[in-house]
Amino acid sequence: MKKKLTLVLAALLTMTMVIGLAGCSSNNNTAKTEKLEPGSNGEIIMATTTSTQDSGLLDVLLPKFEEETGIAVKVVAVGTGKAIEMGKNGEADVLLVHAKSQEEDFVKEGYGIERFDVMYNDFIVLGSKDDPAKLKEVAPNDAVKAFQTIAETQSEFVSRGDKSGTHTKELGLWEKAGVTPAGQPWYIESGSGMGDTLKMANEKLAYTLSDRATWLNMKDNLDLEVVVEKDDNLYNQYGVIVVNPDKVSAELNTDGAKKFQEWILSDEAQKAIADYKINGEPTFVPNASK
């Protein structure tokens, strides 16, 4: 009798332990998937480009980061030049921008702690379907020749003119083409972000330079099409930099900025970037360097 009672008690004890472990496992799984309230762990200010916002990418990435960390992200979408200026003035905690030489100078001057590659896509030259300079015929994969042809034919071109990464790339192409467009009657500066510049180019049926992601997100509402693409000169790399609190005289959320930098370089975020498509077309290629 005692032996049977002992066996029953042992069985009950084993069942209790199994149930307890299952409960712990369930609680652990719940903890792993629990969503945090954005702002419950503070806020960071991210200065970034209008292209990351206008492409719709941030609408996918930031909610994931905020729910996992509880850190709210306040986005200030400006040109890369302005974003870097904000970093120098202590007006942003972290930068997500796309003018690599300027970014590297920012770090060398001590304003940024460290810069990492995040993703890339490419620039494209857009024009009307009539393509007055015939760029699709004479320079479909040669941006420098395309810019030379635009100048020779005095075809209207809308520039962002805002010291952004896109504007910096455009100026570099004009320089390679041996053209000084400023002041020319066919050269129009919008002084605006990528989305507004595309709208202006569309109204004028003029040529312009755009990042591919913003174009994909807006093309259904535009009468422009790609006339020049797939040229090494049109490569477009994005990087992330945490602003150095020891260099700027401002209170920064450096811990939060570092968590964002670490997160966007993670496998999870890199997969989300790769998975983000518009009408089935990829917008960015993740290439994080950690």
Same domain, 223 and 256: no
User: In this structure, is residue 196 part of a structural domain?
Assistant: yes
Same domain, 242 and 111: yes
pLDDT tens digits for 192-227? 999 999 999 999 999 999 999 999 999 999 999 999
Report pLDDT for 12: 39
Of 193, 213, 234, the last residue of a domain is 234
Report pLDDT for 26: 40
- Does residue 265 carry a pLDDT above 90? yes
User: In this structure, is residue 261 part of a structural domain?
Assistant: yes
Of 192, 218, 234, the last residue of a domain is 234
- How many structural domains does the chain have? 2
pLDDT tens digits for 142-200? 999 999 999 999 999 999 999 999 999 999 999 999 999 999 999 999 999 999 999 99
- How far is Cα of residue 36 from the mean position of the Cα atoms in its chain? 24
Contact 259, 69 (CB under 8 A): yes
- Does residue 21 carry a pLDDT above 60? no
Report pLDDT for 34: 76
Q: In angstroms, what CA-CA distances link 268 with 7, 115, 271, 274, 286?
A: 49, 20, 5, 10, 11
User: In this structure, is residue 271 part of a structural domain?
Assistant: yes
Same domain, 103 and 127: no
Task: Quote the CA–CA distance of 11 and 260 in Å, as a whole number.
Answer: 49
Percent of all residues in the chain with a pLDDT value above 70, rounded to a whole number: 88
Q: Give the strand pairing for 112-128 and 285-286.
A: antiparallel
- Does residue 50 carry a pLDDT above 70? yes
With cut-offs at 50, 70 and 90, classify the pLDDT of residue 23.
Answer: very low
| pTM of the predicted model as reported, rounded to 2 decimal places | 0.81
Question: What is the domain-level CATH number for residue 99?
Answer: 3.40.190.10
User: In this structure, is residue 216 part of a structural domain?
Assistant: yes
Same domain, 242 and 116: yes
With cut-offs at 50, 70 and 90, classify the pLDDT of residue 48.
Answer: very high
Same domain, 99 and 69: yes
Task: Quote the CA–CA distance of 74 and 72 in Å, as a whole number.
Answer: 7
Residue 163, both tokens: 């010291």
Same domain, 63 and 98: yes
Average pLDDT over residues 243-250: 91
Contact 113, 244 (CB under 8 A): yes
Report pLDDT for 290: 65
Same domain, 109 and 56: yes
Report pLDDT for 33: 54
Range of the domain at 204: 123-234
Q: Give the strand pairing for 157-159 and 207-211.
A: parallel
